[in-house]
């Protein structure tokens, strides 16, 4: 995309943030029935403020870091369109900025993210789908994609990892599905340990065994348009957007509106509801926290985090039974 090329003078972190923001904007447009390949001059009037309202409904009014980040990327995209005369007729940067500011307004009381309680059913639905019989190239690709998607959903559910973190996993990170923890690099290039449960590692091993390759990325593309693998198969690595599409695909099949980030919120809520301390949840999920918060909560070493993870995690099968924990 030419917009991405226009960010060459920005820092890698800003470029990454803007492109992720644009993914969310295009996902929002897709929900309106507008393809990302449609001419930008045909964008509906007021779509920017509608996007701002959608972000508030999804993430709540406070804290507003997520909304501000995504809107910053969208505004940069609009500035690019303005420079190249690609904005819809009658749309100006000034009007767009003012409209979005009116929607965002002053932050009100914090509204916790509203997560559909049926979220675990997405994981179980994918695992209940019949496995394609590998009697040809197409069915083999379908089989690998289903096994991959099952493993991705298990990883998201078990760990609450960000979709960028999931997309960047390598088979070395998880010792080919035999390591119950892995070191990942999250926001701000901060490293943390993430923990897996046995069912998730089984799903990963089944997928890797079916692949029968030694490519480095943990999750691969299996479509016919993926081209050549490149060094260690890096060109086959899944994108963050594909992780999002996997969640949307099975969410729609289960009748549940969900995103990868919903699994993250769900993990935090489940741990807290089961009695985990806020500081444990912050460390397990890699949440940024103010320095003052760090002074309140004691430091937890890895063994304590492992204990908290094992003690408070709940399998999706258990969550779907009558009278199950929230």
List the catalytic residue out of 97, 297, 300, 304: 297
Mean pLDDT of 123-147: 93
- pTM here is 0.64
pLDDT at 204: 97
Whether the CB-CB separation of 315 and 197 falls below 8 Å is answered with yes
- Mark whether 235 is an active-site residue: no
Name the token pair of 101.
């500011």
List the catalytic residue out of 58, 148, 150, 162: 162
What phi-psi label fits residue 133: left (phi over 0), alpha (psi between -120 and 50 degrees) or beta?
beta
Residue 107: pLDDT band (50, 70, 90) is very low
- Mark whether 261 is an active-site residue: yes
More confident residue, 60 or 131: 131
The rounded percent of the chain whose pLDDT value lies above 90 is 35
pLDDT at 25: 83
Out of 15-24, 57-66, 144-153, 306-315, pick the least confident.
57-66
Q: Quote the distance between the C-alpha of residue 48 and its chain's center.
A: 22
The string of pLDDT tens digits covering residues 166-216 is: 999 999 999 999 999 999 887 767 788 999 999 999 999 999 999 989 999
| Distances, alpha carbon 53 to alpha carbons 58, 102, 315, in Å | 9, 10, 34
Task: Check whether 58 has a pLDDT greater than 90.
Answer: no
- Average pLDDT of the residues of the chain: 82
List the catalytic residue out of 287, 300, 304, 306: 287
Task: Check whether 73 has a pLDDT greater than 70.
Answer: yes
The string of pLDDT tens digits covering residues 136-163 is: 889 999 999 999 999 999 999 999 999 8
Residue 249: pLDDT band (50, 70, 90) is very high
The string of pLDDT tens digits covering residues 2-40 is: 787 788 777 777 788 888 888 888 888 877 778 777 888
**Closest among 320, 275, 283, 286 to 305, alpha carbons compared:** 283
List the catalytic residue out of 57, 62, 187, 214: 187
- Mark whether 187 is an active-site residue: yes
List the catalytic residue out of 148, 163, 264, 267: 264
Handedness of CA 208, 200, 195, 281 (dihedral sign): positive
């Amino acid at each position: 995309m030419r917009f991405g090329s226009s960010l060459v003078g920005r820092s890698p972190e800003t470029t990454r943030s803007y492109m992720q923001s644009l993914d969310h904007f295009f996902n929002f447009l897709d929900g309106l029935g507008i393809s990302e390949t449609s001419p930008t001059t045909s964008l509906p009037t007021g779509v920017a403020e509608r996007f701002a309202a959608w972000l508030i409904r999804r993430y709540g009014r406070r804290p507003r870091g997520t909304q501000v980040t995504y809107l910053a990327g969208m505004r940069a995209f609009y500035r690019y369109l303005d420079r190249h005369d690609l904005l819809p007729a009658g749309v100006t940067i000034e009007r767009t900025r003012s409209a979005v500011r009116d929607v965002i307004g002053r932050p009100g009381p914090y509204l916790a993210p509203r997560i559909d309680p049926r979220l675990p059913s997405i994981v179980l639905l994918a695992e209940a789908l019949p496995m394609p019989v590998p009697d040809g190239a197409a069915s083999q690709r379908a089989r690998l994609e289903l096994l991959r998607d099952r493993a991705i959903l298990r990883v998201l559910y078990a760990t609450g990892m960000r979709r960028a973190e999931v997309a960047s996993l390598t088979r070395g990170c998880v010792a080919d599905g035999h390591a119950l923890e892995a070191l990942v690099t999250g926001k701000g290039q901060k490293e943390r340990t993430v923990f897996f449960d046995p069912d998730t590692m089984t799903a990963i091993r089944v997928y890797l065994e079916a692949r029968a390759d030694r490519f480095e990325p943990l999750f691969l593309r299996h479509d016919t348009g993926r081209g050549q693998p490149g060094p260690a198969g890096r060109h086959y690595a899944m994108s963050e957007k594909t992780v999002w599409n996997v969640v949307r695909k099975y969410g729609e099949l289960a009748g549940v509106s969900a995103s990868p980030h919903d699994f993250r919120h769900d993990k935090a809520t489940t741990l807290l509801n089961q009695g985990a301390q806020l500081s444990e949840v912050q460390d397990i999920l890699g949440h940024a926290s103010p320095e003052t918060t760090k002074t309140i909560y004691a430091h937890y070493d890895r063994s304590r985090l492992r204990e908290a993870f094992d003690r408070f995690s709940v399998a999706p099968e258990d969550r779907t039974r009558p009278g199950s924990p929230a």
